[in-house]
Structure 1
Amino acid sequence: MKIRQDAWSHEDDLLLAETVLKHIKNGSTQLRAFDEVGDELNRTSAACGFRWNAVVRNQYDNAIQQAKRERKQRQRQVAIQAVAPQSFSSPQTSFSPPMEEEMSLHKVITYLSSLSSQSNDRYAVNQENSQLKEEITALKKQITSYQNELKQLKEKYTSVEEDYKSLIEIMNRARRMAFLGDEDRNMTSSFRMDKNGNLEKIAKAE
């Protein structure tokens, strides 16, 4: 039974990372990599898996992506070799052997898996593009709404500004007309507002 309580060393983490990357490149599973590392370090497979996901994995994101790309390339090469006929030639003679009728099950599965992986990648890209288009459309609608609100606010501001200017003008006229009463001390002055909101002076004799 594997029981270890000591901490993971840098060398242990490095062995774990190299083993997992190797299995990814070869099309194997991470579980097999954990088993292999567990046997090497006398640790349980679960402990190796926890260490990989919790600590080591984040340090090898680029290496993981590269390993996956190499795995796909290898699968494509195997599929091409399994499907495409081989031809042989020499300076003296040239011939093409008959295509093999029997194809290994492993090669067929590898080829189909490669096609499925490519199809899934295209589907994921199309889904992502569709989501981006929907988000862009929603943002355009929101921008249009904000533009309309801004236009309405500008119109309200212009109206308020005009009213404010009119009020100031009325107050200035009233102030000027109030001072006119000093010119004629024998007359009393009063004011009234016309239909346009203008103040006019009404003079009456005392």
Structure 2
Amino acid sequence: MSIARQDAWTQDEDLLLAEVVLRHIRESSTQLKAFEEVGVQLSRTAAACGFRWNSFVRKQYKSGIELAKKQRKENKVIAKETEILPCGEDAAISLAPEESLSFGTSLSFGEVMKYLTRLEEVYKLHSKEKEQYAFENEKLGTQIEALAEENRILKEKMESVEEDYHALLSIMERARKLIVLEEDKKIPKVKFQMDKNGNLERVNK
């Protein structure tokens, strides 16, 4: 049984969490399922993923959430529009672009036009959705570039602080050695010698 991680979240993990949650919103799924999916990928609990989403990540993707909800609504419309429509007793028309018309006894010109009209509407919805995805992708790309630049600047500052820290340690070590040498100079060196009576007496050098 694997142990759930409890270490700090990285930017890549936050990005993965956002992508999965937004996808589940678009697909009319629940956020709980999204948290469970991310938890499996990152070896974290669903509760930890949910807490991270609600406490931090969700605030960074307000526009993305609104867009995902809008796309979810449009997907429902598309799903409704692509249902098979009856054309006479045995005939049917599928609005899915990859499917062809299936014929039964007969098809009227009006039914064909109705199919083509709805097919055009589906195409327009898909085109609009594609544009929205491209816009959101470009926005996320800009955010990633900004975060990468911020990370680079922070690394440079950290390296500078480390250099200053080591330089300070070196100065303090030299100062400590100088103090020890000065104290050694101030303390007179003492030696002892034996007097005529056999006693030790102190003699300053």
Sort the TM-score into its range (normalised by shorter chain).
Answer: 0.3 to 0.5
Report the TM-score when normalising by structure 2. Answer: 0.42
Structure showing greater Rg: 1
Report the TM-score when normalising by structure 1. Answer: 0.42
